[in-house]
């Protein structure tokens, strides 16, 4: 089918998706990042198949085992075990689930509220605009981690509340972005034409205007996801995120601080997992920006 199309219409410009892929492919780092993200996503999805052990099962007599390249290691525990005898490899694999779940949830919720508030702010203007923008300014005036800590202090530490807290912290970015691009689009001729043609406000905002605001929003979503993962891990590290025995990378790190000098690997692995995940998502985000922003693409 694809071959037919090519032979029949060799002059036709590539479809938008293909054009996007060609632009994205130019950034080698982004492609590598995408590959790593794919591996992490697959690991997270199939953690129950891939992980050699249950992440919360404690193997008595096998605590603080070293990773496979060190002496005294056990082939059943490739990356060693933590102080309670839980398999590190399995915990890290399941941890990918937790972190990606947090990242995706924060992104999805922020997108929905960001688009809703941003469009409302741009369309209605007046008092609604002022209130929304003031609230967003307030959120941004409190440093991110401090605000998240404040919210957690009120609603209590657990996985859901981590998502809520991090979402609130990053929401202003989405709202301001949607509002700014929607305001710019509203002045364009095609919007005026649609208005004259009698398109209702709801349809005008969602079907006519919104798709034209998506490019920067997609980039923000990618970068926002990595920020969310990092922030959630920081909360976990402070003991204010997902609670034990959830295999969350940040809290895994905090659990192992006492073992730092005697068993450094227990501490090293969760951090490496966080760094690789966040870095590869950021690489993809950079690639998306280069591919979606024509201003930067020319260079």
Chain residues binding another protein by CB under 8 A are 29, 134-135, 137-138, 141-146, 149-150, 152-154, 156, 226, 230, 233-234, 237-240, 250, 253, 257, 260-261, 264, 267-268, 270-271, 274-275, 278-279, 282-283, 286, 299
The answer to whether the CB of 246 falls within 8 A of the CB of 159 is: yes
* Closest separation in Å from C-beta 272 to another protein: 8
The answer to whether the CB of 25 falls within 8 A of the CB of 31 is: yes
* Closest separation in Å from C-beta 261 to another protein: 5
What does the angle CA 174 – CA 175 – CA 180 come to, to the nearest 5 degrees? 100
Number of Cα atoms under 13 Å in the Cβ half of residue 171: 26
If the CB atoms of residues 31 and 50 are measured against another protein, the closer one turns out to be: 31
* Closest separation in Å from C-beta 6 to another protein: 32
* Closest separation in Å from C-beta 298 to another protein: 10
Residues 275, 36: Cα–Cα separation, whole Å: 12
Residues 252, 68: Cα–Cα separation, whole Å: 20
* Closest separation in Å from C-beta 282 to another protein: 5
* Closest separation in Å from C-beta 20 to another protein: 22
If the CB atoms of residues 107 and 274 are measured against another protein, the closer one turns out to be: 274
The answer to whether the CB of 217 falls within 8 A of the CB of 111 is: yes
Helix or strand or coil: residue 137? helix
112 alpha carbon, distance to own chain's centre = 15
If the CB atoms of residues 115 and 234 are measured against another protein, the closer one turns out to be: 234
If the CB atoms of residues 15 and 143 are measured against another protein, the closer one turns out to be: 143
Residue with tokens 């399941």: 94
If the CB atoms of residues 40 and 274 are measured against another protein, the closer one turns out to be: 274
Residues 291, 28: Cα–Cα separation, whole Å: 12
If the CB atoms of residues 178 and 234 are measured against another protein, the closer one turns out to be: 234
């Amino acid at each position: 089918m694809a071959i037919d199309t090519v032979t029949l219409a060799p002059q036709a410009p590539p479809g938008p998706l293909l054009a996007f892929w060609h632009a994205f492919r130019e950034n080698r780092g982004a492609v590598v990042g995408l590959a790593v993200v794919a591996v992490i996503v697959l690991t997270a999805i199939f953690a129950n198949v891939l992980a050699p052990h249950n992440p919360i099962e404690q193997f008595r007599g096998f605590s603080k085992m070293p990773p496979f390249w060190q002496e005294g290691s056990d082939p059943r525990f490739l990356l060693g075990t933590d102080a309670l005898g839980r398999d590190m490899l399995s915990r890290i694999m399941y941890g990918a689930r937790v972190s990606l779940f947090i990242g995706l949830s924060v992104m999805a919720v922020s997108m929905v509220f960001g688009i809703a508030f941003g469009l409302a702010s741009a369309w209605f203007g007046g008092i609604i605009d002022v209130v929304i923008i003031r609230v967003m300014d307030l959120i941004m005036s409190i440093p991110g981690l401090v605000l998240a800590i404040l919210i957690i202090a009120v609603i209590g530490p657990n996985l859901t509340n981590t998502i809520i807290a991090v979402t609130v912290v990053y929401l202003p970015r989405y709202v301001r972005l949607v509002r700014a691009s929607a305001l710019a689009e509203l002045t364009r001729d095609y919007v005026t034409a649609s208005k004259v043609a009698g398109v209702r406000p709801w349809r005008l905002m969602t079907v006519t205007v919104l798709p034209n605001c998506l490019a920067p929003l997609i980039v923000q979503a990618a970068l926002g996801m990595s920020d969310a993962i990092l922030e959630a891990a920081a909360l976990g590290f402070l003991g204010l995120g997902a609670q034990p025995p959830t295999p969350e990378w940040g809290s895994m790190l905090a659990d192992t601080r006492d073992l730092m000098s005697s068993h450094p690997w227990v501490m090293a692995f969760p951090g490496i997992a966080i760094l690789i995940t966040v870095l590869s998502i950021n690489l993809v985000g950079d690639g998306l920006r280069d591919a979606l922003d024509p201003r930067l693409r020319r260079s």
